[in-house]
Every structure is written in structure tokens, then in C-alpha cells.
Amino acid sequence: METIEIIGALITLAGSIFLVLGSLGLVRMPDLYTRIQAGTKASTLGTILTLFGLGLIHLDWMGKLIILILFVLLTNPISSHILARSAHYIKTPVSKLTKVDKLKDKETEKTSEANHTNPEDEL
Amino acid sequence: MINTILTIATVLIFISFILSGYRFFKGPDTANRTVTFDVMTISSIGLIALIAHFANRIIYLDIAIVYGLLSFMAVIIIAKYLEKELF
Amino acid sequence: MNLKNPAFLFAILLLFWILLSNTLALEFLIPGMLLIVLIIVLFCRNCKIFDGAKTTPKAFIYTLVYIFVFLGELIKSNFDIARRVLSPKLPVNPGIIEAKTKLKSPMGRMILANSITLTPGTFTVEIDNDTLYIHSIDIDEEHLDDMSSKIIRRFEKYLEEIYD
């Protein structure tokens, strides 16, 4: 019984270390998209490990913690995805290191096409 | 033994709050601040669970569930607002 | 087995209710069951979660394999991020690439996009019909097509057995 609790505490510790690394990524990364990369992944796994470790310490809490884990696993990627989408839509500046931007190419293509074919629709 | 390890974990989560707080105040625009806000709320779910352990009360986990739901809603609403689809 | 059967939905919702209330006492179960019946009557017609899901035994095995592959990738991606953040030079080489998927059902595409978000160095920015726009932290300019197909195939080969 004692060993499983210590394993749970160590898993919780590992989760909090990942959370610190994710925040360090938020501080160090050069632009919004790379910050989302660091933030989302680290906070998802960090929180999951923290909750799972606590579940090993209190085995009777496991049900609620599993609900929380599923919830974080489903919603966190969606919120980061929708945030990146709106950020790209309002043209948040990307870092100078960025090499290719296919989404921007598509958007400029679409607007120029619209301007060529039916310019009167806008009026 | 277990409480020592968990106290270290709590301190580490607070350090992560301080690091993301730096980005929250410095962040050049709203989108950057929202990313930081998202990371901070998701980590505070873990923090609430740790507080539930220290207080030995399972009822605090319900607060964590509602808190996660509200933060998810908040991020989506801010994103929609940035896209100017709310008007 | 038909996944759109209301009894299946009832069983899933009841499982969640038991996990959430953390007890099997009858005074918790009966209000839960009443609520679940209300939810099914009100919302079941518009529920599209299981559209396009397959129910063969092979799909079930692939679901289990998929969960383990996914968890492995999640842990790998965190070590990848940790390596990049801790190295003093900050080795990032970002870019947004496009990739085509063969999956048809909305749920399958949503799971694919979520999985890509949680794998090493990539996340989905936008989905436009069958095209996914993926932000990658480490791109290889000469081999863009190779890269996008590699990112997609890693999960698609499991998901196309589960969803249409």
C-alpha cells in the first residue's frame, strides 16, 4: 500500500515538472504559434500526470479524477486549435524564423480571386 | 514522505504560475495573453486537486471540474471575439 | 451492435454519472437515470458522435491499439518540447504546411486533428474539408509532401479502421 502511494506522489512530481517546462517554453519561444505548441502539450500531460498520481494516492477518488482527465484531454487541444485559428485570422505576426505558410498563401489566393471575378459583390 | 513530495510539486506549480505570469504581463497582444491564461487555468486544475489532497476533501474536485469547464468556455469566447464573430 | 441505439448512449451516460457521483447508492442512481432519459429524449436525434463509426471486432482492437499509440506519442512530444526549451540555442524552425486526409466522417477528422495537436512538434491550425493546415515546429523545406504524409499516416492508419 505504501509503495503505490509513493509511486503516485512521484508521478505527481513529474507532472508538475512538465508544467514548469511548459511555462518556461511560454517565456522563451519566439512567436504565438510556437508558444501554443509548448503550452498546450506540456499543460495537457502535466495536468494528466498530476491528477493520475493523486488518484493512486486516494484510490477512492479515481472516478472523478478519470472524468477530469478525459475532460482535459478532449478540451485542451480544441481550445488551442480555435485560438490559433483566430490568431491567424487577425494576422498575428509570425516569427522571422518561419519558412513556409501555406494557410496564408491560401487566404491571399482566395481574396485575389474574389477581387478578379466579381468586384461588385462587395458593394 | 508523500506530503513532502507533494509539497515540492505544489511549489513547482507556483513557479510555473510565476513564469507564465511574466508572459501574461509582457505578452505583446491579446492572443498571447489568452494562450497564457489557458495554460494557467489548466495548471490550476492540478493545483486544486493538490489542495483537495491536503484538505482531504473530495468535494473540491467538483470545483476543479466546473473551473475547467468555465476556462474552456472563456478561451472559446475570447477567440470568437477576436475573430469579430460576436457582434 | 448498433452504436446509434439509445440504450448504448444510456449506458455511457450512466457510467459517467456513477463516476461523477462516486457512489452506487439508490438515491443518487434514480435521479441520474431520470436525467439521462430526459437528455436522450431531448437531444438524441441531433447526436452525431457515432456517425461513421464501425462496429467490427477489428475496429475495437484498433481502438485499444490507438489509445496506447496516442499516449506514447503524447509522452514523446513532451520530452521533445522539454529538449527544445532547455537547450540554450532554442532550435525552432517553424512553418505551416498542408496535408490531405482520407477520413470522411466529422468525428474521425476531429479525433485526427486532436491527436496531431498532441504529437511531437505539430498542431492543427485549420481544417478545410479534407485539408488540414498543420503548424510544425521543425520543418524540412525540401521534403514538405513527405513530411505532411508522415504526420498524417501516423494516426490515419489506425483511425481509418475505426471511422469511415
Query: How many other CB atoms are there within 10 angstroms of residue C8's CB atom?
Result: 13
Task: Say whether residue C84 is in contact with chain A using an 8 A CB cutoff.
Answer: yes
Across the interface, do A18 and C137 touch by the CB < 8 Å criterion?
no
C138 in A contact zone (CB under 8 Å): no
| pLDDT exceeds 60 at position A123 | no
What is the pLDDT, as a whole number, of residue A97?
A: 65
3-state per-residue secondary structure call for chain A: CHHHHHHHHHHHHHHHHHHHHHHHHHHHCCCHHHHHHHHHHHHHHHHHHHHHHHHHHCHHHHHHHHHHHHHHHHHHHHHHHHHHHHHHHCCCCCCCCCCCEHHHHHHHHHHHHHHHHCHHHHC
- Band of residue C85 on the pLDDT scale cut at 50, 70, 90: confident
CB of A33 less than 8 A from some CB of C:
yes
Cβ-defined contact of B46 to A80 (cutoff 8 Å): no
- Which candidate, B64, A6, B4, places its Cα nearest to that of C20? B64
Chains touching A, CB cut-off 8 Å, 3+ pairs? B, C
With beta carbons less than 8 A apart as the criterion, state whether C121 and A37 touch: yes
Chain A CB contacts of C82 below 8 Å = 18, 21, 42
The share of chain B scoring above pLDDT 90, in percent, equals: 17
| Nearest chain A Cα distance for residue C133, angstroms | 7
Q: Which of A40-54, A66-80, C104-118 has the lowest mean pLDDT?
A: C104-118
Q: Where are the alpha helices (DSSP H) in chain C?
A: 6-21, 26-43, 57-86, 106-117, 144-162
- CB contact set of C112 (below 8 Å; sequence gap of 6+): C101, C103, C132, C152, C155, C156, C159
Average pLDDT of every residue of chain B: 88
More confident residue, C88 or A122: C88
CA distances from C163 to C49, C87, C109, C115, C159 (A): 11, 40, 9, 14, 6
Distance CA A91, CA C31 (A): 49
Q: What ipTM is given for this predicted complex?
A: 0.87
Using one digit for the tens of pLDDT, what is the confidence trace for B59-72? 888 898 899 889 89
How many residues make up chain B in this entry?
87
Assess C14–A contact: CB distance below 8 Å, yes or no.
no
> pLDDT averaged over chain A?
81
pLDDT of residue A109: 67
Question: Above pLDDT 90, what percent of chain A?
Answer: 14
> Closest approach of chain B CAs to the CA of A121, in angstroms?
21
